[in-house]
Amino acid sequence: MKKLNDEQIQTLEDGVNELRALGQELEGAMYDYNEAVREAYDKLTQYVDEYNTKVTEMREFRDEIVDQITEYIGEHSDKWRDGEVGQKVQEWLGEWEGVDMYDFETPDEPTELGGECDINHADALEAISHAIQQD
């Protein structure tokens, strides 16, 4: 076969035109997606920052409570610490010390669609059809 017949040319032209139209729709959808992801990520990071600020406040509060309980235990005798009340207070101290007040990590910024997605199928088909037609 040296060239495309009329039916093949029509199929090619129709396909290229449809690919171009769909490609524009796809690019628009990727743009909308990227905008939505950016907005959602910005909102997420805002909430993570606010959450971590409160975690820091509560971590400081926990540390103050631990210091006060430790001081309270230190003010009592070994006999009191070994007794029932002393043991319960020390258990309570352990519970306060065991509360892990870690910061929530912000996820990595999402990758946007588009840069690595090259919508050029219509151009490629058109280029190869012209090369064949010239022979």
Is 115 within a domain? no
Is 36 within a domain? yes
105-130 confidence digits (pLDDT tens): 988 888 887 755 567 788 888 777 76
Hey, is 111 helix, strand or coil?
coil
**Cα 122 to Cα 14: distance, rounded to the nearest angstrom:** 10
Segment 84-101 mean pLDDT: 96
pLDDT value at 30 more than 60: yes
DSSP track, 43-100? HHHHHHHHHHHHHHHHHHHHHHHHHHHHHHHHTS-HHHHHSHHHHHHHHHHHHHHT--
**Cα 16 to Cα 23: distance, rounded to the nearest angstrom:** 10
5-15 confidence digits (pLDDT tens): 899 989 999 99
Is 64 within a domain? yes
Around Cβ 18, how many Cβ atoms within 10 Å? 11
**Cα 68 to Cα 53: distance, rounded to the nearest angstrom:** 23
Boundaries of domain holding 33: 6-105
Is 72 within a domain? yes
CB-based contact 33:113 (threshold 8 Å): yes
Is 11 within a domain? yes
**Cα 75 to Cα 91: distance, rounded to the nearest angstrom:** 17
pLDDT value at 46 more than 70: yes
Is 111 within a domain? no
Segment 49-58 mean pLDDT: 97
How many domains, in total, are found in the chain? Answer: 1
- Whole-structure pTM value: 0.69
State the amino acid at position 31 in one-letter form. Y
Is 134 within a domain? no
Is 129 within a domain? no
Distance of CA 94 to the CA centre of its chain: 35
